[in-house]
Structure 1
Amino acid sequence: MRGAQPAPGLSVKGQNWDGLVVIASGTSWDDTWLSEKHLALHLSRHVPVLFVDPPMSVLTPLRKPLLRESMRGPRLRMLGSNLARLTPMTVPGISRPGLRSVGEWLTRRAIARAVSRMGASVDGLVVASLDDVFGACDARVTVLYGTDDWVAGAELMGISSGWLRRRERLRLENADVVVAVSQELAQRWSQTAATVVVIPNGCDTGHFARVDEVDASSAVTLPDPIAGFIGHLSERIDIGLLEGVAAAGCSLLLVGPRQLTFDLDRMTALLAHENVQWVGAQPFSDLPALMRRIHVGLTPYTDSDFNRGSDPLKTLEYLAAGRPVVVTDLPSSRRIPAGLVNVCTTPEEFTETTLRLLSQAPDAALAEERRAYARSQNWEARTLDFVAIFSAARPGRHAARAAGDPGSPAPTR
């Protein structure tokens, strides 16, 4: 995978940027791999892409050490053929209302200057946050990419729900196309937006297809078999479900960053169990080796408005590795064919199902069914859905799959 540093031998000036797609991400390239980064990597195989980090100040790496690499090298640099990255700089404190607009203005200016320097014609501007970025460049189509229910996540982010609701309405009204990762989000947003299409999250199936052939991670010290959770340990997670699995005596592996304010006492008690190991945030490149040690994947989300509108990436990644999965009863779980995931409605059922699956020998045929489903949901398929949106806005261009073909996004309005 392409890294954060400029690609040697490649120059922004040395490429044709006709038909550029600008992706203004809600998460830095150097942070956790989320939808925008996956989309940028796969989209760059079809069209030129400029990935734009959220604005940073010189103090940002002090708060998020993972982002130190973002400050090194030029602000506009090549990551690989057809893929460039821009890191806008801003003043410290942009989370404050008065300074937020300054950060947004600096981001729009940075994008405009980058597009001019690249000599690009822009087919699409994709914004994956509620930041005021539309208008940064002359794009044939503007897309609001909604990977989460921003308003429902107000408490998680510590932001006023009323303020988020007003910003969300403005962005929905201004976007030419709104992409939602779930039908639940699409139904709500279609009351305001002119055009809403559903494009669920995808899966980097190639990254997890050969999990059983890689060397297992030496960082994991738990005895087999292991139930594992990969993701952000935050308020989205039902900690009671993890406590139940641990109390049953299962080896429980936790992989991912931890929200320090998340149920501090209960998390401390959970991690004190001898049969529980937390390895912290791990690079995406290391996840297959960690997945090798996991026998059953867990998606223990709470039944909240925020989670009902989400589409967890990790469930697909467990399936891509051929692993059995235990999930809570959410709409995203119900869209997966019956038999490929184990949907649980009570804490007792979640624990009992995990214990049962851990005790069973691997089923090679069922594992291949899981992998096959994950392949049908891969990022390449999702990318072609986005390409169809951009192609529809540019006369004379044809997408690899027309917008009415099976698997393409269907407008909800």
Structure 2
Amino acid sequence: MTRDVVFTFSYETYADALARGMMRPPDRILQTLMSSDEVGTLLVANPFRSVASIVARTVRRSDARSGGPEHLITPARIARRDPTDLSAVVRTYRAYDDRLRAAAARAGLQRPAVVTTNPLAAAFCRFGWADTVTYFGRDDWLSSKAHEQYWPAYAAAYRQISDSEIGVAAVSQQIIDRIAPRGPAVVVPNGVDPAEWEGPAPAAPPWLDAIPGPRAIYVGTIDDRLDVEGVAALAADRPDLHIVLLGPTPDLEYTRALRDVPNVHQHPGVGRAELVAALRNCDVSLLSHRRTALTEAMSPLKVYEYLAAGLPVVSIDLPPVRDIHERVTFAPSTSEMAPFVDEALARGPLDGSEREAFIAANSWRSRHRAVLDLALRSSADARGMTPAHA
């Protein structure tokens, strides 16, 4: 028996997910829903977009859906951003709920299961037309400085999610604990796509090949999670180690202190195949984050990809990272990583069997079984379930 499903993005769209290679946890869950024989009709909903942005995107033809979901909606409104006043936020998501309900009816969905990656939608949409609701948390939004103006709304949303006994799947126990759901809950850490990582190592991209070794790499958005001062200290302590920062940098001023450091190399974000090639041609990997409430709650996707590439990992000590693999070495801080990097380089990469075993044990397919079990539960089943803090 199949279940109809509604999936909603948080602040980005299906087109955004395609543009980044469907690589973030919500994108991967959507891929699983799109391919699962347990899912009947699937409706995918983008967040609200302003009329102006929808017109501009249509002109650019940047939302092409080739091979995408059959039912995809982008609700339109005048405003470009959500309001910050709580009562206005509630009204906004009541209106979003109306759009979802109408779209589900047009698509012929019958009492669908809802999976949403937006805590405000999970909390403030009514969803009286749905059978069950599951919130998937990839970050602790209440700790995100980039969304600080919405913290009061997120705090209210977490309380409402808990009080409403909505199902919660999250990438870390820390997110589960901060929401404290009264309904069923499951921790679903990040994973890897075996098809990307199996087989012999591809050739290094030319820009990476020009950087001498040994090479230590950090991948991801270069923002305030990265400990810039710590990276500078590590580079000074080990001038023969070449540190590669690979990823988009929204604020170029943030890494100004690293621009004249000769053994630190910044490169903009690349496609998935090039990212895999870069990782598989480095010697050690870094999780050189600042320790904040946000980083303490995230399941760093990059660590799983580092290990899938066969790289030893040197990380600051964060709870979600502690039990990932024995080849993760912990340093008190980024500025104190030098001897731990020496140790990781001396031990060398994971051997072939270690790498293959890690990939098999941490595939997205194995991760998403728990998500499907939670999301596709029936309301009758949900009444008999108790919170599960895995």
Instruction: Name the CA shift for 1:288/1:73 in 2 (closer, same or farther; >3 Å).
Output: closer
Cα RMSD, aligned residues only: 3.4
* Alpha-carbon distance in structure 1 between the residues aligned to 2:345 and 2:249: 25
1:88 aligns with 2:75: yes
Indicate the residue corresponding to 1:328 in structure 2: 316
Q: CA deviation at 1:284?
A: 3.0
Indicate the residue corresponding to 1:50 in structure 2: 43
Instruction: Name the CA shift for 1:244/1:386 in 2 (closer, same or farther; >3 Å).
Output: same
1:114 aligns with 2:103: yes
1:411 aligns with 2:378: no
Farther off after superposition, 291-300 or 368-377: 368-377
Q: CA deviation at 1:326?
A: 1.0
* Alpha-carbon distance in structure 2 between the residues aligned to 1:360 and 1:280: 29
C-alpha contact 1:156 1:235 (8 A) present in aligned 2: no
Indicate the residue corresponding to 1:235 in structure 2: 224
1:143 aligns with 2:130: no
C-alpha contact 1:180 1:197 (8 A) present in aligned 2: yes
Alignment of 1:298-337 (within 5 A): 298-337=286-325
* Alpha-carbon distance in structure 1 between the residues aligned to 2:108 and 2:2: 8
Instruction: Name the CA shift for 1:323/1:174 in 2 (closer, same or farther; >3 Å).
Output: same
* Alpha-carbon distance in structure 2 between the residues aligned to 1:294 and 1:275: 14
Indicate the residue corresponding to 2:263 in structure 1: 275
Specify which of 373, 383, 405 is matched with residue 358 of structure 2.
373
CA offset digits 1:287-325 (Å, max 9, x no partner): 212223322121112222222211111100111111111
SS of equivalent residue, structure 2 residue 374: helix
Letter in 1 for 2:126: G
* Alpha-carbon distance in structure 2 between the residues aligned to 1:253 and 1:61: 37
SS of equivalent residue, structure 1 residue 327: strand
Letter in 1 for 2:157: R
Indicate the residue corresponding to 1:39 in structure 2: 29
SS of equivalent residue, structure 1 residue 43: helix
Q: CA deviation at 1:102?
A: 6.6
* Alpha-carbon distance in structure 1 between the residues aligned to 2:130 and 2:223: 36
* Alpha-carbon distance in structure 1 between the residues aligned to 2:215 and 2:70: 38
* Alpha-carbon distance in structure 2 between the residues aligned to 1:103 and 1:257: 31
Letter in 2 for 1:384: R
* Alpha-carbon distance in structure 2 between the residues aligned to 1:222 and 1:68: 38
Indicate the residue corresponding to 1:9 in structure 2: none
CA offset digits 1:2-55 (Å, max 9, x no partner): xxxxxxxxxxxxxxx962222212233315532110111123221254332222
Instruction: Name the CA shift for 1:282/1:53 in 2 (closer, same or farther; >3 Å).
Output: farther
* Alpha-carbon distance in structure 2 between the residues aligned to 1:383 and 1:410: 18
Alignment of 1:12-411 (within 5 A): 19-26=3-10, 27-29=12-14, 30-31=16-17, 32=20, 33-46=23-36, 47-48=39-40, 49-57=42-50, 60=53, 68=57, 72=61, 79-80=67-68, 84-97=71-84, 104-105=93-94, 107-132=96-121, 134-135=125-126, 138-153=129-144, 155-190=145-180, 192-210=181-199, 212-220=200-208, 221-247=210-236, 248-249=238-239, 250-260=241-251, 264=253, 267-337=255-325, 339-347=326-334, 349-358=336-345, 361-365=348-352, 368-393=353-378, 411=388
* Alpha-carbon distance in structure 1 between the residues aligned to 2:193 and 2:73: 23
Letter in 1 for 2:272: F
Instruction: Name the CA shift for 1:363/1:180 in 2 (closer, same or farther; >3 Å).
Output: closer
Letter in 2 for 1:274: P
Letter in 2 for 1:385: A
TM-score with structure 2 setting the length = 0.82
SS of equivalent residue, structure 2 residue 140: coil
How many residue pairs are counted as aligned between the two chains?
A: 372
Letter in 2 for 1:108: D
Letter in 1 for 2:389: T
* Alpha-carbon distance in structure 2 between the residues aligned to 1:121 and 1:188: 33
* Alpha-carbon distance in structure 1 between the residues aligned to 2:127 and 2:309: 40
CA offset digits 1:338-366 (Å, max 9, x no partner): x221111244541222244345554525x
C-alpha contact 2:229 2:335 (8 A) present in aligned 1: no
* Alpha-carbon distance in structure 2 between the residues aligned to 1:259 and 1:309: 22
Instruction: Name the CA shift for 1:297/1:118 in 2 (closer, same or farther; >3 Å).
Output: same
Higher helix share: 2
Percent identical pairs in the alignment equals 23
CA offset digits 1:269-293 (Å, max 9, x no partner): 2133232222222233432122233
Gaps of 5+ in 2: none
C-alpha contact 2:113 2:376 (8 A) present in aligned 1: no
Instruction: Name the CA shift for 1:157/1:123 in 2 (closer, same or farther; >3 Å).
Output: same
TM-score with structure 1 setting the length = 0.78
Letter in 1 for 2:4: L
* Alpha-carbon distance in structure 2 between the residues aligned to 1:354 and 1:61: 47
SS of equivalent residue, structure 1 residue 207: helix
Instruction: Name the CA shift for 1:129/1:328 in 2 (closer, same or farther; >3 Å).
Output: same
